[in-house]
Each structure stands twice: as structure tokens, then as C-alpha cells.
Amino acid sequence: MTRLAFLGSPAVSAACLRALHGAGHDIRLVVTEADKRRSRGGAPVPTPVKAAALELGLPTSDRLSAILEVDAELGVVVAFGRLIKPPVLGHLPLVNVHFSLLPRWRGAAPVEWAILAGDEKTGVCLMEVEAGLDTGGVYARRAIPIGEGERAEELRERLGSLGASLLVDRLGEGAGGLGVPVPQSELGGEVSYAPKLSSKDLRLDFSRPAASLARVARVGRAWTTFSGARLLVHEARAEPGAVAGEPGTLVEDGGALKVATGEGLLLLGEVQQEGRRRQRFEDWARGARLRAGERLGGRATVE
């Protein structure tokens, strides 16, 4: 089996780490982010990758340079979240499990941007790591359809399983099993980028079509405002219908309050007001005494 160094932090990375360990690979080191406090006064909490590594009895470090100190044949990178530069880059071959069909959606948030763009399919690439941002050649890739209404966290979990399976399959004969990478220029398709999303990107702009806004909600952390306070929108569905009001206005349609948009209506599912628990929109609206004609999306007190 192959002597590996593993780099990653979130839960989707932990799934790949477990798959490689379960396949019998010799994981010499796991590099992950340092422990962080998740709440004020709380104890530092390890990343999902570190928690998995400790459970499996694997050595860990939050220093990228620690890779220079171990005898590994190959480095496996899964959602590491940090640029890898010399001298680590060049010390040993590195393969990245990237969650898109390169060259589409290079960057930090390929799953989210595939959903926002309304892509019908995405996939996983095993990519050679080089100095450029996700520009390396591709050893292997697999495509899957994006489910109707599928959320980013659900899609990412499916892609993680697919990537782990593809990686284990290719490394069954050692690092040489990866083969020769194919330049992205030979794979077809235009280059596009998927930068990390900010809170501003996730604010619901009701002048846009309802279908576009529903995709923002599927990404996660979508929000709007009501009476100056933030309202997280965890679920939303686009529906056809005549827009009888300015964007953001609540209208009654089919016995339910819906939001007028630039095109069609948006039916909110689960929402969460600042400092409160998640609840169904109709329950929250009832408690807030919302009526048709009122508007969401006014100025937030905290941007």
C-alpha cells in the first residue's frame, strides 16, 4: 500500500481519510487546521479530520511544513483550504480531490457555485496539485447529476463519497495507479471560478427571479431582513404566479403568504430570526403577525 500524507479539515475530508485508512494505506501524517473554539468560553474543538485521525491512531499536525519531516510517497489533499507553496509543493507529488468537473469551477466553493448557476451535473476530479489555482492536470474524473432541490451539504456529501471511492480505486496499485494527468485544456469546457461566498453574496435580492433565489437558499446561510433584523432562510421554493407587488412584498396566493420577486413567487419554508430557533415560515409569520402587503428585505441594522 502507499505511504501517504493527508491534508484536509472538514467532514467531507474525514470521509476520504477513513476510506484510505480502511483500504490499508500507510498514512504517515495528517495535516489539518488548528483546534478552534466554537463558542465563547468553550474549549478548543478539533476539526473533523483531526477527530477521525485521533480515533484511527494517526499522527496529526497543524503545520504544513511537517510534511517535510515524514517519509511519504504521495500527498492527498481534500478541502484543505490553504494554499500549498514551496518547499512543500515539489517535495512530493500531491493529488487533490476537487469537487467539480474541471476546468469548470476552479476555486474554494465549486459545489455552491454549481448550484447557484443551475448546473444539471457536476462531479469529482483527481487533480495534480501545482502552483496555479486548480490548474493542474486531471488523473481521473466522474460526473453525477445534481438532484432537483438538492442542497449544497447533501451534494457535497455525495461528491465526497464518490471522490473517496475513485481515490481508493486508483491507488489500489500504489501511487503509480494514478496514471498520467491530462491537461485541463484537453478536457473541453470553459474555465470558470468559484470564489468563497460572502454574506453579501447570500443575501436574497428579491428583484431577481424566484428560481435563482431558491438556489441561493439551497447553498445555505441565505438571509433577508424584516424590521431591521436578519432572517435566515433555510428552505425556499420557486413557484409560478403573477407578481402583484414590488419585489419583497408578501402576497397571499393559494391560502399562503409568498414573496413577490422579479419573476414568479418565492414560498419560504424554514426560517430563523436572529436569536431564535428555526421554525416553519408560516409559524414565524403568524407569531410576527405578518400580513399581505408587508415587505421583506429592508435595510439590516447589522450588515
| Domain positions in the chain | 3-186, 200-288
Residue 32 contacts residue 24 (beta carbons within 8 Å):
no
Same CATH topology for 3-186 and 200-288: the answer is no
Residues of the chain falling short of pLDDT 70: 299-303
Q: What is the mean pLDDT of the chain?
A: 94
pLDDT of residue 303: 42
Angle (CA) 298-113-201 rounded to 5° is: 20
Amino acid at 60: T
Superfamily holding 200-288: Formyl transferase, C-terminal domain (3.10.25.10)
What residues pair up with 141 in beta bridges, in sequence order?
125
Q: How much is the pLDDT for 244?
A: 73
Which grid cell sits at 218?
439551497
How far is 107 from 182, CA to CA, in rounded Å? 19
Q: Note the pLDDT tens digit of each residue in 245-255.
A: 799 999 998 88
CA nearest to 178, candidates 102, 97, 103, 253:
97
Whether domain 3-186 has CATH 3.40.50.170: the reply is: yes
Predicted pLDDT at 144? 98
